[in-house]
Amino acid sequence: MDHGTAVRAACLALAALSLAACTSRSGGNQAPDGAATTAPQPTEQAQPGADGVGDPYYPKDGNGGYDVTGYHVSISYNPANRNLDGNTVVTATATGPLDKYNLDLQGLKVSAVEVDGKAARFARAGEHELVITPPAPIADGAKFATRVRYAGVPQKAEKGTLGENGWQLSTSGGAFAAGEPHSATSWYPANDTPRDKATFKLDARVPNGWSVISNGRESPATRGSDGWTTFHWSEPNRIATYLTTVGIDKWTFERSTLPGGVPVVSAYAPGAEEKKRVESRLPEILEFLSSKFGPYPQSAAGGIYINENIGFSLETQGRPIYAAWAELEVVVHENAHQWYGDSVTVESWKDICLNECFASYAQWLWTEAKDGANLDDRFRQEVARSTDRFWSGKLYDMGPGNEFTSVYNKGPLALHALRRQIGDEAFNRVLREWATEHRDSNASWPEFEQFVQKIAGQDLSKFFAAWFHSDKQPADEFLYPGTLRK
């Protein structure tokens, strides 16, 4: 996610006030200052049937007792009355015996639930829990399919630090889904946690004249005799729910193929067609990022250019969503996430530096390679004009509501200091080997610290404590390592 230069100062001010945004499902406390944790911490495990997966920041997100293997979402959406009809099948494997279990779904009215083709009892609880009682208990290790039929006018999930999350209306009369940490469950039922990645398939039916963009690869649209057309998209790579999207508009499409055969589909909302000049550099951007992080890890590429001034652009998998203000470096940022965030996904939201610090530093690397920028000079300039407020945000375990603040500004400084601490050879190995080793999986920040120390052959516990665990400016020995020291 990138939220634009114009918004950063405001967001940092909010962070300094400990704004608890996006906390309609939140819980937990900000960890105290202390030394770096270099050993991986155990993942919180939710009990079978629990109404949350146990993330310390959003403990009611996700659900216990099963692992989703795939979503098949079928929707019909009428822009005239904003009504959505949905029929979603969630396939999963039980990780414990289940006599009941939950899915997350925000607002929409459920009319029927089936488990393996048989009617199941269901009830709503709280703001987003759909509690399902299968007709017979599900055994540990069993595969099962849950079909949910639902309808209504989708609602935004909540207002977060960077703006609205979830289902949003466009000025053209269409709609799109975007937001972090929540957006998916405003339009389909899901196990809404990044820990449970799954394949994703979408069949979206809209009136003729409208079209649909989503994740992954497209199949030919199906035109009905009733004045409606169904668009088909499929993401074979596992995907976290917040990285799924749908866009309904009168899109202008551009299609091409990357040199390695990856299909590229980019879509432009009415009024956003001039962004073709930015998107035309996507092959160059992906080639550059591949040189740093390894082969492109997604099944497809492209971009979704909305004509809306929302507060963020978002790395929706394989096909980021760009706000109207987005320019070239934002495209670099969101595509860096295809490795750092989408392929390698956070274990918990306190690990978000693994996404945003790296995508933000990718922008630095781009200016270094393409514009000849001296990153040591840039680092010193930013440190020179920094304030106590700048340093007050942690980069690891920053507290719920503070995830999307310091990672964009302090984050790239921290990674540049790490680069100078361990040297270019080791740093380049870290960038590439971390993304390769953890491809299509989840990972935590403590695991990353351990990984870096192994490659660098250094005890970096004090360095990590100073830069990533502290809310103070690092001491000079950590602030100016290597060539940063004059």
Q: Where are the domains of the chain?
A: 13-40+347-484, 46-241
Structure tokens at 281: 């550099």
Q: Above 50 in pLDDT, residue 158? A: yes
Q: Architecture of 46-241 per CATH?
A: Sandwich (2.60)
Torsion of CA 358, 319, 1, 79, to 10 degrees: -170
Contact predicate 149/112, CB 8 Å: yes
Please give the helix or strand (H or E) that residue 379 lies within, else none. Answer: helix 375-384
Largest CA distance in the chain: 73
Instruction: Give the other-Cβ count within 10 Å of 240's Cβ.
Output: 24
Among 11, 28, 16, residue whose Cα is nearest residue 389: 16
Q: Where are the beta strands (DSSP E) in 197-259?
A: 198-207, 211-214, 217-223, 228-239, 246-249, 252-257
pLDDT in tens, 409-459: 999 999 999 999 999 999 999 999 999 999 999 999 999 999 999 999 999
Assigned CATH class of 13-40+347-484: mainly alpha
Per-residue pLDDT at 67: 97
Contact predicate 208/227, CB 8 Å: yes
Q: Above 90 in pLDDT, residue 269? A: yes
Strand partners, 138: 98
Per-residue pLDDT at 41: 47
- The dihedrals phi and psi of 280, each to the nearest 5 degrees, come to -60, -20
CA dist 468 → 35, 270, 296, 418 (Å): 10, 42, 28, 11
* Cα 336 versus chain centre, distance: 12
Q: Give the mean pLDDT of the chain.
A: 91
pLDDT in tens, 8-47: 333 333 333 333 333 333 333 223 333 334 444 445 567 8
pLDDT in tens, 107-147: 999 999 999 999 999 999 988 999 999 999 999 999 999 99
pLDDT in tens, 296-314: 999 999 999 999 999 999 9
